[in-house]
Each structure stands twice: as C-alpha cells, then as structure tokens.
Amino acid sequence: MPNELEKSIEVIICTHNRFQLLQRTIDFINNTKKPNNFSVSLFVVANACTDNTHQFLELYKHKNDPNSFPLRWVEVPKPGKSNALNHALPLLKSNIIAMIDDDHRVDDNYFLAIETALQNHPDADFFCGKILPDWDGSEPEWVHDQGKYRIYPLPVPRFDLGEQSILVTRDIAVPGGGNLVIKKPLFAQVGNFSNEFGPIGHNLGGAEDIEWVLRAFQTGARLVYLPDLIQYHYVDTARLTLLYLVKKAYERSASTVRLDEKAQNFTGLFPLYLIRKIMTYLGHALFNVNRAKRRFFLVRFAAALGEIKGFLMAKKR
C-alpha cells in the first residue's frame, strides 16, 4: 500500500495583510471537487501580518467544519515572500505541494487535474497550469484590446500555453509560482527561494519563483504544463490606472531582465540601444494626442527604463 503522505496534497498559501482575499481564496478551494484518491490540506504562512489574518486563521482552524479542508498555519514575522516560503518548506508534510496565491480563485476541477496529472505523468517533477485574469465586467475596455496599441503584458498575471499538455523547457516558457504543483523531493534538489528576488509586502518587484524554476531546469527537473490546472487571478480594478501600469511595467521588466543570462554576461553597463528605445517611446508619448497610443508608449517607456535597471541589477549579482 502507498504511504499516506504519497496520497496527499498540501496547499501552501503565503499571505500578507489581506485576510479578506485570503478568506475568499480558501472558500473557493473548499468548494472544489474533491479528488478520489488523495487527501487535501492547507498550510498558510502569515508573513508580517498586522491585520485580522491571525484571528481568521485561528477561527478557521478550530471550527472543524467537515466540509472544509483541514488547515495549519504559521507566523513568519520577517517580511518577504521568500522568507515565508523558506520557513514553511521544512514544515510541509505531504509529498505533493500545490502553490496558490492568496488572491486566486481555483477552478472547480483543480484537484482532479492534479490527481490525473500524477497518474498520467509519473516521471514529472513538477507541473504548471493556466493563470487567467478573473474578469468580472467592471474592468476598463482597454484591457481586452488586441490591436496594435494593446498594453502588454497586462498588470494582471496571465499564463496560458494552450490546450495540450506539453513538456516545458526554458526555451518554451518559465512560469511563476502562482500555479505550480511540486513533488516535495524537488525542493531539496533545487534549494530555497532566493531572498534577493522575492517581494517584500505588496511591492511590485519579485521574481523569486521564476529564479527558482530556472534553477530547477538546471538540475534537469521535468516540468509538465497542464491545460486543466487553472487558477484565476483577482483583478483589483482600482489598480488599472496609468500610474500603476507604468510602475508595474518598470518593475516587471527589471525583474525579468536581471534573470536573463544575456544581461548577466553583458560586458558593459547596458546596451546602448535601450537609450534609443527610451527616447523613441518618450517622444511618441509626449506628442501623441490619442489616449490609447499615449498610454501604450508611456508603458513601453517605463518597461525600457526597467530593462536598464535589470541590466544594472544583474551586474550586482
């Protein structure tokens, strides 16, 4: 008979000061279809929380609702998502670890997709799935624009490799950690999450999950994409402002570029063509009267500035 730990799935959720979103996420998890041959439990890491997160978790833990998954939680006072993850890893009990963000809605078939994947892909070390914006109709129309001046990438995470299961390599895509399912031995093989890259609080930086996945690839770990493993990312429409778009584009570009081997091996400070990109985008933004075009060029301007920051940060590694 298989060990009980091999037939269990443990969900890890790191959270910081947004207990209402956390409660929403856990409610959706509890309403999913239950797997036939796996037990499910939750492990929440409260990272430097000063709101009602602790009270909510204690109430949930002690209510013993038979229709809810059992929950353990731990407090990590030192801010930083990597700190939270690294503190939690030795405490996890199951051999299958599902990573869910505290502002996600999981698909009803989420755990069934994991169960099927474990049966169909026994040689995989970890899995990734879709992350889709959880649009509700209140968002501005421009987020759905697919024309020449669409905003890309959107400030709401999106990861979608299509409708077929595939073996993912670095050349195909590098998923973030928002929808990973990891066989526990891989953590020992790859190591901890880097404090150098993880976000602190709710700042807009952070690439600790991408850096971890890159190290997993280097060890030869096999990553399989599952089209039916779906999570929906909460959309805060109050954030869909020009200022937020610009800040997000800047920080996201910096985080992406600093992990790129070309940036790490570049001999100068940064490629001079980036200055040309910056001046071109800025010129279009300043002298364009069309709102959609001006928004597009301002976001590209910020992203190009972020590329320079990424090159400079790569030099410090």
Q: Which of 119, 139, 171, 120 is nearest to 244 (CA)?
A: 139
Q: Hey, is 250 helix, strand or coil?
A: helix
User: What are the domain boundaries of the chain?
Assistant: 4-237, 242-315
Indicate the pairing of strand 126-133 with strand 180-183: antiparallel
Q: Which of 248, 192, 203, 176 is nearest to 79 (CA)?
A: 203
Question: What CA–CA distance (Å, rounded) separates 287 from 251?
Answer: 25
Per-residue pLDDT of the chain (317 residues), as tens digits, is 345 556 999 999 999 999 999 999 999 999 999 999 999 999 999 999 999 999 999 999 988 888 999 999 999 999 999 999 999 999 999 999 999 999 999 999 999 999 999 999 999 999 999 999 999 999 999 999 999 999 988 889 899 999 999 999 999 999 988 899 999 999 999 999 988 876 655 555 668 899 999 999 999 999 999 999 999 999 999 889 999 999 999 998 998 899 888 898 999 999 999 999 999 999 999 999 999 999 999 999 999 999 999 999 887 65
Domain 4-237 fold: Spore Coat Polysaccharide Biosynthesis Protein SpsA; Chain A (3.90.550)
